[in-house]
Amino acid sequence: MTIEILQTHKLLESCEVALAERFTVHKLHEAADKAALIAQLAPRLRAIAGGAVNADLIAQLPALEIIANFGVGYDSIDTAAARAANVRVTNTPNVLNDAVAELTIGLMIALARRIPQADQFVRQGKWPNGNMGLFSELTGKTVGILGLGRIGKEIAARAQAMKMRVVYYGRKRQESEPHVFYDNLVDMARDSDWLVVIAPGGKGTERIVSREVLEALGPQGNIVNVARGTLIDEAAMLELLQTGDLGGAALDVFENEPAMPEAFFALDNVVLSPHQGSATTQTRNAMGALVVANLDAHFAGEPLISAVV
Ligand code: GLV
Ligand code: GLV
């Protein structure tokens, strides 16, 4: 009898094929009556592939052994409940570092040089009537990285290639890193032209980028968020962008995404992106392969490849 698993949302074709080769896969996102599906399968479901698993769902699945999250961030999984129920949790680290770092640099240049607006300017036939004006460049500027982890380090390397000075904030100094370390986020923001947010989401980091941090970044400062919307006081950010007390923002993630405050749409000093950090074919395939490899390891009784619980 094949092992029965629950898939929580649509995954890449390559990943869905690999899962179907191994398991009997039940697709929660395609179920008309999700509660009924869960109730019916509960005694047999041994794994979940995907994400968004709360304590309620874990409590309803007595046979659950492992949650293989599609994504490096696992803030949508109640890890405390998983641990208490003796359920393992895996994520997909490392394989997306380059893709997220590339998008980060792309967003920074897009904001600094107003690339989305430039494209509109040309398409709307405005060029023959004049030019757009002058903007700023990254060269020589200081970027403060909030969270110098695996992705943060890839961003730092690329920022240095852009001739930027790198500083970072984190829980502790990393002896192996040559960059200036700040143990106070407001102080780092004051020293930075750009603040790049790439720390994990979840309870420990909620609104860590407070109004005070944003004010310290100031009218010449720009913020980039490629992590989680919950890390920033979004209402304060919006207000400061409207008044010009914060220079600009390039945002790939939002507090209540995909819903977002429409007030952002009216702002010329923001670049908006729909949570695309890992959204390349190469990276998403690698993430899917890692989800499958963790499930394979688990059911073969081998050590998990990337366990977080
Ligand atoms: C994307 O946001 C991820 O956590 O992988
Ligand atoms: C370690 O990752 C394990 O499988 O226990």
What are 187-199's pLDDT values in tens digits? 999 999 999 999 9
195's tokens: 């603040």
For residue 305, which atom of ligand 2 is closest to its CA? Answer: 2
Task: Enumerate residues 6+ apart whose C-beta is below 8 A from 213.
Answer: 185, 186, 189, 195
Secondary structure (3-state) at 131:
coil
Residue nearest to atom 5 of ligand 2 (CA): 303
pLDDT in tens, 260-275: 999 999 999 999 999 9
For residue 70, which atom of ligand 1 is closest to its CA? Answer: 5
Q: Is the pTM of this model over 0.90?
A: yes
Backbone Cα Rg of the chain: 22
The predicted model gives 226-248 an average pLDDT of: 98
The predicted model gives 253-257 an average pLDDT of: 97
For residue 287, which atom of ligand 1 is closest to its CA? Answer: 5
Residue nearest to atom 3 of ligand 1 (CA): 71
The predicted model gives 37-64 an average pLDDT of: 97
Cβ-contact 43, 62 below 8 angstroms: yes
Q: Is the pLDDT of residue 1 over 90?
A: no
Query: How confident is the model at residue 278, as a pLDDT?
Result: 97
277's tokens: 């950090």
Choice from 86, 88, 305 to test ligand 2 binding pocket (greatest atom count within 8 A of CB): 88
pLDDT in tens, 108-142: 999 999 999 999 999 999 999 999 999 999 999 99
Ligand closest in space to the Cα of 309: 2
What are the chain's domains?
4-95+281-299 (3.40.50.720), 97-272 (3.40.50.720)
The predicted model gives 169-173 an average pLDDT of: 94
Ligand 2: residues with CB < 6 A are 303-304, 307
Rounded distance from Cα 308 to ligand 2 centre (Å): 9
The DSSP bridge partners found for residue 169 are 146, 182
Ligand closest in space to the Cα of 66: 2
